[in-house]
């Protein structure tokens, strides 16, 4: 019997990429490939790249070069780029980076086993010429679902597959293979984006917004629960638009309680919310539904009106603060995080001061700050009024220092709070760490539990905050805490 072909998936970028990698893994395993963790143990190393900003693109190139260095020193025979950067640049990336033996776009996803076999056999699969994926679906959201089957949508793998196409788990098994044993997993709610933010290139290579059907989201969540997952995080480029192409813009409000009732799931988290699209009904569901985390990942980006308009976004400091007041009036302990861009073309000192005013009053739990840089193909790249790189760097450092101080202060405000902490790691030397409802994986802080007696990964523990370490919290498990599944997300 011939030796099994081995493949390793290296995932960079956001949680959406993690879902895409697990779909690719499901397709490969169904075709007989063996998944391995270490690229040095794989015949083919597949790097799922990020193409969002320059730093992410550099990380992707570095990962490809690092994988290429393994060739000739072990089992690795080929290195293949997939994901956003591969889709965005196609043949240009292939020409600029000959170390990659293949550059596969989204249209290659369904045929990933054959593509890798061709490359492993020494053949060549020509990289694609990039195109604007927004043009692949109808302009009208209501007409998109009928056309969706003809367009590659990574992470939208079908459910109810024939036996053997995914890990055995009854009729609910999605086209997905888990790549780690974390008690948390992301579930893709939709793909693409219809917004036209002037600084963002994502819609051009991810395409127009299209929702997954609720039954697919529910089936995948049930399957993940059967694999031991305790928390799911709903991801997309814009979760507040979910359902608009299915005829119901309030579909998320009805889907969330159903997801929360899934056996085995103790917390449901929603990410990527647009402030301009937040509606009272959605706030009510996020702040009052058992097992749904009162967590608001709000994409503010800035708060000065002139900068927001140049970004083709909406709102201002006072309206954003009113939104936060509304949320906290319903759930005082709600978690809120956001990202901000400083140094945008035309940003004045007064605009920056307005952003600082917002941050000082917003009481955010986590803050990401990025310095503006031109992204090719975006409207903002054509703007006048570009700031010198030194000015952007100074403003980035200034706001980052303020953000660090503010999130530490916000953490201190939580002293004495009772949290429900999902245990994510237990180490005899480093201690027991987990996350509360106001903390998303990777992007936010974490909780160090003062005692790990009887605790295991995946356990939901009630604990009282007794200390802080910057944005992180220190909490003491309460006596007799059994997880309190009913209230785990509250």
Q: Which residues are annotated as a binding site for [4Fe-4S] cluster?
A: 14, 50, 84, 193, 197, 200
| Interatomic CA distance for residues 200 and 190, integer angstroms | 18
List CB contacts of 256: < 8 A, sequence separation 6 or more: 268, 270, 285, 286, 289, 292
Nearest in space to 9 (alpha carbons), one of 199, 154, 179? 179
Phi-psi region of 343 (alpha: psi -120 to 50; beta: other; left: phi over 0): left
Nearest in space to 195 (alpha carbons), one of 412, 378, 15, 53? 378
8: β partners: 45
195 close to 274: Cβ distance less than 8 angstroms = yes
Angle at 186 between CA 182 and CA 192, to 5 degrees: 155
395 close to 370: Cβ distance less than 8 angstroms = no
Which residue has tokens 């019997």?
1
Which residue has tokens 């492993």?
120
φ, ψ for residue 390, nearest 5 deg: -65, -35
Structure tokens at 130: 């990039």
Nearest in space to 193 (alpha carbons), one of 322, 304, 312, 48? 312
| Interatomic CA distance for residues 320 and 300, integer angstroms | 8
List CB contacts of 79: < 8 A, sequence separation 6 or more: 44, 45, 47, 64, 67, 68, 70, 71, 99, 100, 101
Neighbour-count burial of 335, counting CB atoms closer than 10 A to its CB (0-12 exposed, 13-18 middle, 19+ buried): buried
Q: How many CA atoms lie within 13 A of 317 on its CB side?
A: 15
| Interatomic CA distance for residues 482 and 446, integer angstroms | 20
Structure tokens at 362: 């917003």
Annotated binding-site ranges: 14, 50, 84, 193, 197, 200
Nearest in space to 100 (alpha carbons), one of 65, 59, 52? 65
């Amino acid at each position: 019997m011939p030796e099994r072909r081995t493949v390793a998936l290296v995932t960079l970028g956001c949680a959406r990429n993690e879902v895409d990698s697990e779909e690719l893994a499901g397709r490969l395993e169904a075709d007989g490939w063996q998944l391995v963790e270490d690229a040095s143990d794989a015949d083919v190393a597949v790097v799922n790249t990020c193409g969002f900003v320059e730093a992410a693109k550099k990380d992707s190139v570095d990962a490809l070069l690092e994988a290429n260095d393994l060739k000739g020193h072990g089992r690795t025979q080929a290195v293949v780029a997939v994901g956003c950067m591969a889709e965005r640049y196609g043949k240009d990336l292939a020409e600029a980076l000959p170390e990659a033996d293949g550059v596969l776009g989204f249209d290659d996803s369904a045929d990933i086993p054959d593509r890798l076999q061709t490359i492993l056999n020494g053949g060549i699969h020509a990289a694609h010429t990039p195109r604007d994926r927004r043009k692949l679906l109808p302009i009208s959201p209501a007409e998109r679902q009928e056309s969706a089957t003809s367009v590659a949508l990574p992470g939208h793998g079908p459910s109810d597959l024939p036996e053997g196409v995914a890990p055995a788990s009854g009729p609910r098994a999605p086209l997905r293979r888990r790549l780690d044993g974390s008690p948390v997993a992301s579930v893709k709610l939709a793909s693409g984006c219809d917004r036209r933010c002037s600084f963002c290139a994502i819609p051009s290579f991810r395409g127009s917004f299209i929702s997954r059907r609720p039954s697919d989201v529910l089936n995948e969540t049930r399957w993940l629960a059967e694999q031991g997952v305790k928390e799911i995080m709903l991801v997309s480029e814009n979760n507040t638009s979910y359902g608009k192409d299915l005829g119901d813009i309030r579909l998320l409000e009805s889907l969330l309680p159903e997801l929360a009732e899934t056996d085995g799931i103790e917390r449901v988290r929603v990410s990527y919310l647009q402030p301009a699209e937040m509606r009272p009904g959605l706030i009510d569901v996020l702040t009052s539904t058992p097992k749904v985390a009162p967590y608001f990942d709000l994409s503010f980006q800035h708060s000065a009106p002139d900068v927001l308009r140049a970004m083709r976004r909406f709102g201002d400091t006072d309206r954003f603060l009113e939104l936060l007041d509304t949320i906290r009036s319903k759930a005082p302990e709600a978690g809120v995080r956001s990202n901000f861009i400083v140094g945008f073309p035309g940003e004045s000192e007064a605009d920056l001061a307005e952003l600082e005013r917002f941050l000082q009053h917003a009481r955010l739990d986590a803050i990401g700050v990025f310095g503006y840089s031109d992204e090719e193909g975006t409207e903002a790249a054509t703007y006048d009024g570009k700031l010198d790189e030194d000015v952007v760097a100074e403003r980035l450092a200034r706001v980052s220092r303020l953000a660090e101080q503010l999130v530490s202060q916000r953490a201190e405000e939580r002293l004495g709070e009772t949290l429900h902490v999902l245990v994510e790691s237990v180490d005899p030397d480093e201690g027991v760490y987990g996350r509360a409802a106001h903390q998303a994986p990777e992007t936010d802080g974490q909780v160090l539990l003062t005692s790990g007696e009887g605790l295991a990964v995946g356990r939901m523990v009630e604990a009282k905050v007794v200390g802080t370490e910057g944005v992180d919290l220190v909490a003491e498990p309460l006596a007799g805490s059994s997880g309190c599944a009913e209230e785990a997300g509250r």
